[in-house]
A = this chain, B = another copy of it.
Amino acid sequence: LNLRSLGEFGLIERIAGQVADLPGVVRGIGDDAAALTPSPGQLQLVTSDMLLEGVHFDLSYTPPELLGRKSLAANLSDIAAMGGRPRWFLLSLGLPADMSLEFMDAFVGGMLGLAGEHGVQLVGGDTCASRGGLVISVTLLGEQTAGSVVCRSGARPGDLICVTGTLGDAALGLLELRAGRRDGPAVGRHLDPAPRCREGLLLAEAGLPTAMIDVSDGLMGDLGHILESSRVGARIDTGRLPCSHYFLEAAAGLTAEPADLVLSGGEDYELLFTVPPGKMEHLPSALSGTGTQVTVVGEVTEVRGLQLLAPDGSVSMPRHHGFRHF
């Protein structure tokens, strides 16, 4: 059995058969559109990410199951960064002629596995043939009350800049993968990122962040979006940027500059957010159930632009901000 003999509708049925029913889905896979019951009094959040073979992922070292997980994880991270609760998603696939059914099963299995972990349901999408490599587009819907949604635009001078977890691991993992390594914590961070869904929701519902974004393009680039939307600047204390023990040990042997990976390395999928100083005392209790570390890495300034304060006291103003998409 292969994809061609299964056909588009056979493939859709095969996927639909693995989807567990969750509340709110009046009509899922198998109609012209999905029909969903929004929770009363909530805003609908919706985000979309496209992943292209040869641009966003390399099938020579990416297991299909993890690719499936990561394709959904990037969207879960976006809803987390809004402080939302993810609910339903659509998957559109462009499939090369030589794509095997085994690959598809593993890809979909990985994606639906992560969906189950986060209580979200696949409700539709599209499948077609591709002549240019595997094409993946995921659209995720979530919900949150208007009062708890966190945008990029609310940072105010004096707010403290916080980040969950550690930075640079995913970029280190990508370097390791390209050098032939296939395991280890950094490779794991790159191939199977864990979106901070619970943290984003808890922070938002505690009313703590004034602005929030997920670190997908690198700290400097993503902080830049907050600064631009909020019309403020920031000073980052580079000596306080959180790195994993593994990263610090591996950094010694790197050809790349470790600081570049921490400042500009993408795909860590940590949350970067700003909190007024008066609310900082509530941060530990808000996240106490998660075990997730939060580090204060700087402060929002009235003066526009981004200043990097080095441990030796010198200040630089970087021009290059994060990953360039084209």
A residues contacting B by CB (< 8 A) are 3-4, 7-8, 26-27, 30-38, 40, 42-50, 52-56, 78-79, 81-82, 84, 88, 90, 92-95, 97, 123-133, 135, 137, 139-142, 144, 146, 149, 151-153, 212-214, 229, 324-326
Contacts and interface: CB of A to CB of B under 8 A. Distances in A.
A125 B33 contact: no
A139 B35 CA distance: 14
21 contacts: A3-B326, A4-B326, A7-B326, A8-B325, A26-B149, A31-B82, A32-B47, A32-B81, A33-B45, A33-B46, A34-B47, A35-B82, A35-B146, A38-B38, A49-B92, A50-B126, A53-B132, A55-B130, A56-B128, A90-B139, A127-B326
A131 B90 CA distance: 24
Residue of A88, A95, A128 most packed against chain B (CB within 10 A): A128
Contacts of A88: 46
A84 B33 CA distance: 9
A110 to B, nearest CB: 20
A169 to B, nearest CB: 21
Contacts of A33: 45-47, 78-79, 81-82, 84, 140, 142
Given A26-B146, A94-B50, A326-B4, A31 B151 contact: yes
Given A90-B48, A139-B139, A82 B32 contact: yes
